[in-house]
């Protein structure tokens, strides 16, 4: 498989998973008025599936639930891939410093690296469906 095709598949997968996560959250979660969504401000995009956000005045690393992008900023540079850089660039194309997002919790609060695990909404959902 060519690198270009593989890169396009990574990006298409990212978009598809983002849509599915938001749709599943809307279908199976509570409505937004009672779900306890938390407003947060983007400090920076770390990579394709991790954000640094200001949440209630605290800096938090947030791992996007349902998204697993290839590495792009690993300390062991041999783990970083071109596809990971493309996934990171895609996330950076839709989120910028200062943007406001809304966070929705799921079953687990944090991962093994102590990042918050959250669904991230780009717009505050009123009534998703």
**Active-site residue set:** 63, 71, 115
Structure tokens at 23: 């749709």
CA dist., res. 83 & res. 60, Å (int):
25
Cite the beta strand spans of 48-124 per DSSP E: 50-55, 58-64, 100-104, 116-121
């Amino acid at each position: 498989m060519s690198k270009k095709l593989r890169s396009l598949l990574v990006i298409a997968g990212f978009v598809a998973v983002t849509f599915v996560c938001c749709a599943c959250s809307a279908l199976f979660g509570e409505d937004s008025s009672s779900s306890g969504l938390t407003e947060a401000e983007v400090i920076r995009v770390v990579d394709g599936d991790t954000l640094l956000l200001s949440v209630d005045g605290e800096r938090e690393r947030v791992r996007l639930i349902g998204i697993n992008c290839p590495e792009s900023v690993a300390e062991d540079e041999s783990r970083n891939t071109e596809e990971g850089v493309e996934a990171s660039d895609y996330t950076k194309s839709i989120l910028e410093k200062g943007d406001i997002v809304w966070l929705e919790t799921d079953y687990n609060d944090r991962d093994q690296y102590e990042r918050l695990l959250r669904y991230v909404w780009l717009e505050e959902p009123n009534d998703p469906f």
